[in-house]
Amino acid sequence: MTAAPAVPTVGLCELTLEARELARMERFYTECFGLTVLAREDDRVWLACGERTRLGLWAPGPKEFGDEGGRHVHFAFSAGRGGLEHILERLRAAGAEPRGPVEHAGGDQSIYVQDPEGNVVEVWDYFEDGEGRRAGVAALEP
């Protein structure tokens, strides 16, 4: 019996963050990153993050399928060409304290900021500038 070929995932569908203050987190992500609200429910908010991904902001507590949201240490948004400066302006206007841009060895750059819950949010132009533009995720292989 031959094993079926592995089917790779094609991207991230959603990421959820625990949010003790839903309205504050929603405001941060909509004002600083330009995300739009897809839906509001009693215990969560869904935000559009690109064409095929959503960011969930979930109040603490059990959800369906055994989920409980979660505390994340770090995640990264992908920035479009020239997008880092625009996002830096939005972050500063919102009173956030971003770090960067930090230039990486391959010619790409990142900015970093903490959201109101303490999650480290990176915005990275990797797929627009430097090695990532030429090779995509293959350039990240060790």
Residue 62: per-residue pLDDT:
79
pLDDT value for 7:
59
pLDDT at 142 over 70: no
Enter the tokens of residue 107.
């010619």
Say what the pLDDT of residue 133 is: 63
Lowest-confidence segment of 2-11, 65-74, 118-127 by average pLDDT = 2-11
Q: What is the mean pLDDT of the chain?
A: 84
**pLDDT value at 107 more than 90:** no
pLDDT for the residue 90: 93
Q: Which residues touch 83 (CB under 8 Å, ≥6 apart)?
A: 123, 125, 128
- % of residues, the chain, pLDDT over 70: 78
Nearest to 17 by CA among 64, 63, 84, 69: 69
CB neighbours of 119 closer than 8 A, spacing ≥ 6? Answer: 17, 71, 72, 73, 74, 75
% of the chain residues with pLDDT over 90: 47
Q: Is the pLDDT of residue 1 over 60?
A: no
- Could you tell me which of 54, 50, 70 has the C-alpha nearest to residue 117? 70
Position 10 pLDDT exceeds 70: no
Q: What are the E-state strand segments in the chain?
A: 14-18, 36-41, 44-48, 54-58, 74-78, 99-103, 109-114, 120-124
Residue 94 in contact with residue 100, Cβ under 8 Å?
Answer: no
Scored b (16 or more CB within 10 A) or e, 26-38 reads bebbeebbebeee
pLDDT value for 76 = 87
